Structure 1
Amino acid sequence: MVNKRIPDWLNNSMWSSSTTTPPPPPKSQSEYQSSPPQSPSHDDRIGTYPSKPSSVTSSDSSANERRESLPSPSSMRPESPSKPGPAPRTEVRDPLTSSGSSDNDGSSPVEDVSRQAQLLQELSRKIINMGELQRLASQGIPDGAGIRSTVWKLLLAYLPVDKGLWSSELAKKRSQYKLFKEDLLKNPSEVTRKLEESTSSQNGEQTRDDKGLLSRSEIPEGEHPLSLGKTSIWNQFFQDTEIIEQIDRDVKRTHPDMHFFSGDSASAKANQDALKNILIVYAKLNPGIRYVQGMNEILAPLFYVFKNDPNEDFVMNAEADTFFCFVELLSGFRDNFCKQLDNSVVGIRSTISKMSQLLKEHDEELWRHLELTTKVNPQFYAFRWITLLLTQEFNFADILHIWDTLLSDHEGPQETLLRICCAMLILVRRRLLAGDFTANLKLLQSYPSTNISHLLYVANKLRSHSTP
């Protein structure tokens, strides 16, 4: 019988009964949601690829847009929004300034205070014990006091474990980023102007009428605006324009429900400029991948946390710090963004297959119902879950809590991410087992509100109950 494959801890009443209270952490609220409405057509087997449901009611139309989804990963990558998306979810709170814990957070204020004290004690050591820091952070980092900012930098190996090296390492990295910007964000006209100044100084003083101007014969081929040569800075500039325009559009659509990222205020515009700078520099330093739509969503939590650090020095250098942490975080997932690797053993298809096998290992009944009975291909929903690190599925405060666990796992964030994705399926297994293709696809493409602490608890159980 298939049910024999299901572990006892998984095949108990907590997954099927709304009257049984599971042991702490608190049970998932997702099991209490009403059945999702049916999609208009059962024949729409490729479904839709909705953008992140807005976490607050917003008049910005981009918050209610949807992205198309196609069967192959290369064509399923996030596209420009084209269809109206699901209704906005719940109002987001500012996780770093609001008091109290999230409604979806099962931790108590006493636990938060205790864990905060333990984290502060660990951060006060001259040599950080990364094992202990990972253990504490995996349970969730309390908001406030700038703890998350420092811990994330340690978890992403941006800060060394020896605190005595922090000052020199930060100065070196921030200086390096400044050079990246000066070199990679320079307008070609600026290069030409400096060339003119250099040539003028070599030729001695010139008359006022022609000072600073070069004759056409004196302009090298690579610096001429009409040059089509591969080494021409102008030709490269025009090739980069499309990517830069895409980055600009995506950055302006980043969390339109949060004043930090959106609006006409000077701070919001400055934050958008910082995000654009980071993404452009990354694209130019990584020509094999460049920019893939959706990277802005992965960048946003990092910059938000670092920019809200109470340490003024960290705030002033948030852009540089975020760049290096973004590079480190993406290094573990970059193969998912490379179209040429989609069908390889390290590509996104393989990653999605691992998630599918993980579900089969822990709950074969649910796996059979999804993939064999209702034929819900995991690419239709898991592609976005995995490539965007769940940033489109939950409100911002919950994303930070999930990332505390992702970044703190000693096995690396990808294995933890797959367990969380599998746990997301298990938490709504009763509804999935009762649903058909249309209902299940709709449910998984617009995942219901859930208790994040409980979700992470179940994901951790999947680790402890893995078969050898």
Structure 2
Amino acid sequence: MVNKRVPDWLNSSMWQSPPPASTTTAAPPPPPPPIKPPSPPSKPPSVSSSDGSGNEAREAREPAGSVQKTEVRDPLLSSSGGNEYDADPVEDVSRQVQLSQELSKKIINMGELQRLASLGIPDGAGIRSTVWKLLLAYLPRDKALWSSELAKKRSQYKNFKDDLLKNPSEVTREMEESTSSQNGDETREGKGLLSRSEIPVDEHPLSLGKTSVWNQFFQDTEIIEQIDRDVKRTHPDMHFFSGDSASAKANQDALKNILIIYAKLNPGIRYVQGMNEILAPLYYVFKNDPNEDFVINAEADTFFCFVELLSGIRDNFCKQLDNSVVGIRSTISRMSQLLKEHDEELWRHLELTTKVNPQFYAFRWITLLLTQEFNFADILHIWDTLLSDPEGPQETLLRVCCAMLILVRRRLLAGDFTANLKLLQSYPSTNIGHLLYVANKLRSHSHS
């Protein structure tokens, strides 16, 4: 029988409660406020062109305007038994002390730091900001090197901004001044202005030459406009990212700068919709560090951590790799196989009986690192665990996605195509401690 494939630990009463007869709405935990999710699509996320040169970007999500997420409390998530991921004020204080002690060492023990962080980093005291920088290899293990490494990286980012965010007029003028200086040329009036005949043809604003800075500027305009639109709708419920305040606008400008520079430095992938959602938690954490030096340099620090984080998952954003062994379809298939390995009954019901293609929901889960499925505070907790995986976030991410299915398995087994798709495209509020606990159990039972 198929049921024999269900692990014994899944047969506990924790998972076997009957589905709720009716849903109840509970207020989201403040702060920050819950995220507004996208409207459930009737088909997989679409592919749209990001620029006129053939580079394509997937639309990972479309905002749902002012629609607010309804948080459904599922009895399946209630349990009288605790686990190592459950929120406990005493445990939080203890872990904060342990993390602080680890961060005070001259040489950071990354194995111990990863172990502690994987259980969740307590909010406050700026610990998460520093730990994430270490987990993403932005800060070296040797604390004596922190000052010099930070100075070097921040200077490098300043150069990126100076070189890549210039108006083409400035670039053209600097090129003209450089040419004039090298040749010792001056106009008849001796004012250092080039005569009309000496302006390089390729640098004229109407030039269609491929090497023209103006032509490149016009090619970049569409991507920059897309970045601007996406940044403005990033977490619209949070004053940190949205609104007319000077701080919100400054934060939006920082996100735009990072995404534009990344796009220009990575012409093979450029910008794909949804990258703004992955960027937001990093910038939020770094900008809220109590260390004033980290706050001032949050944009530069976020850029390099964003590059590192994306380096491990960028294949999911590359349409040309969709059907390859490293593309998003292969990644989703691995999640499906993981579910089949641990709960074949649920896998069979979803994919064979109700024919819910995992791409309809898992595409967004995976490409956006679950940033659209939970409230912001819970996202940070989940990311503590994702970033703590020494092999990178993807394997842990797949286990968390599989755990999300298992947590609502009774409702899924009782549902048809429509009910299950609706549930998975608007995932109910859940106990993040239980979710990470089950994901970790999947790791320990993967070879059982």
**How high is the TM-score relative to the length of structure 1?**
0.85
> How do residues 140-159 of structure 1 correspond to structure 2 at under 5 angstroms?
140-159=120-139
* Cα distance in 1, alignment partners of residues 169 and 125 from structure 2: 45
The residue aligned with 1:321 is: 301
Of residues 141, 147, 159, the one that matches 1:161 is 141
CA drift of 1:89 comes to 4.0
* Secondary structure class of the residue paired with 2:39: strand
Q: Would the aligned equivalents of 2:37 and 2:372 in 1 still touch at CA under 8 Å?
A: no
With over 3 angstroms needed to count, the CA separation of the structure-2 counterparts of 1:278 and 1:164, relative to structure 1, is same
CA drift of 1:224 comes to 1.0
With over 3 angstroms needed to count, the CA separation of the structure-2 counterparts of 1:67 and 1:296, relative to structure 1, is farther
* Secondary structure class of the residue paired with 1:10: helix
Of residues 189, 197, 204, the one that matches 1:207 is 189
CA drift of 1:57 comes to 8.0
Of residues 427, 437, 443, the one that matches 2:407 is 427
* Cα distance in 2, alignment partners of residues 305 and 83 from structure 1: 25
* Secondary structure class of the residue paired with 1:242: helix
> How do residues 9-20 of structure 1 correspond to structure 2 at under 5 angstroms?
9-17=9-17
Of residues 217, 229, 251, the one that matches 2:209 is 229
Q: Deviations over 1:417-468 (max 9, x none)?
A: 0000000000000000000000000000000000001100000000000027
Query: What code does the residue aligned with 2:312 have?
Result: G
CA drift of 1:68 comes to 4.5
The residue aligned with 1:5 is: 5
The residue aligned with 2:199 is: 219
The residue aligned with 2:373 is: 393
With over 3 angstroms needed to count, the CA separation of the structure-2 counterparts of 1:346 and 1:79, relative to structure 1, is closer
* Secondary structure class of the residue paired with 1:293: coil
* Cα distance in 2, alignment partners of residues 138 and 65 from structure 1: 29
> How do residues 291-310 of structure 1 correspond to structure 2 at under 5 angstroms?
291-310=271-290
> How do residues 21-32 of structure 1 correspond to structure 2 at under 5 angstroms?
none
The residue aligned with 1:39 is: none
CA drift of 1:192 comes to 1.8
1:253 aligns with 2:233: yes
The residue aligned with 2:68 is: 87
* Cα distance in 2, alignment partners of residues 167 and 452 from structure 1: 36
With over 3 angstroms needed to count, the CA separation of the structure-2 counterparts of 1:15 and 1:86, relative to structure 1, is farther
1:375 aligns with 2:355: yes
CA drift of 1:196 comes to 4.0
Query: What code does the residue aligned with 2:290 have?
Result: P
CA RMSD of aligned residues (A): 2.3
Q: Would the aligned equivalents of 1:119 and 1:147 in 2 still touch at CA under 8 Å?
A: yes
The residue aligned with 2:258 is: 278
* Secondary structure class of the residue paired with 1:207: coil
Query: What code does the residue aligned with 1:34 have?
Result: S
CA drift of 1:189 comes to 0.5
Mean CA deviation greater in 233-242 or 182-191: 182-191
Q: Deviations over 1:194-251 (max 9, x none)?
A: 234445553247638xx46433321113311111111110000000000000000000
Q: Deviations over 1:91-111 (max 9, x none)?
A: xxxxxxxxxxxxxx8311111
Q: Deviations over 1:280-309 (max 9, x none)?
A: 000001101000000000000000000011
* Cα distance in 2, alignment partners of residues 115 and 304 from structure 1: 22
* Secondary structure class of the residue paired with 1:66: coil
* Cα distance in 2, alignment partners of residues 463 and 254 from structure 1: 33
* Cα distance in 2, alignment partners of residues 78 and 69 from structure 1: 14
Query: What code does the residue aligned with 2:43 have?
Result: L
With over 3 angstroms needed to count, the CA separation of the structure-2 counterparts of 1:212 and 1:443, relative to structure 1, is farther
The residue aligned with 2:436 is: 456
> How do residues 6-155 of structure 1 correspond to structure 2 at under 5 angstroms?
6-17=6-17, 34=22, 56=33, 63=36, 66=39, 68=41, 70-71=43-44, 74=47, 77-78=58-59, 81=62, 86-89=67-70, 106-155=86-135
With over 3 angstroms needed to count, the CA separation of the structure-2 counterparts of 1:448 and 1:55, relative to structure 1, is farther
Q: Would the aligned equivalents of 1:149 and 1:309 in 2 still touch at CA under 8 Å?
A: yes
Of residues 238, 248, 269, the one that matches 1:268 is 248
The residue aligned with 1:40 is: none
> How do residues 177-216 of structure 1 correspond to structure 2 at under 5 angstroms?
177-198=157-178, 201=181, 202-204=184-186, 207=189, 211=191, 213-216=193-196
* Cα distance in 2, alignment partners of residues 85 and 7 from structure 1: 41
Q: Structure 2: which 5+ residue stretches go unaligned? A: 25-30, 49-56, 72-84
CA drift of 1:64 comes to 6.8
Of residues 425, 441, 447, the one that matches 1:445 is 425
Query: What code does the residue aligned with 2:7 have?
Result: P
* Cα distance in 1, alignment partners of residues 139 and 310 from structure 2: 17
Q: Would the aligned equivalents of 1:385 and 1:393 in 2 still touch at CA under 8 Å?
A: yes
Q: Would the aligned equivalents of 1:67 and 1:80 in 2 still touch at CA under 8 Å?
A: no
Identity over the aligned pairs, expressed in percent?
Answer: 83
Query: What code does the residue aligned with 1:400 have?
Result: L
CA drift of 1:167 comes to 0.6
Query: What code does the residue aligned with 1:8 have?
Result: D
Q: Would the aligned equivalents of 1:64 and 1:85 in 2 still touch at CA under 8 Å?
A: no
* Secondary structure class of the residue paired with 2:208: coil
Q: Structure 1: which 5+ residue stretches go unaligned? A: 19-30, 37-53, 91-104
The residue aligned with 2:322 is: 342
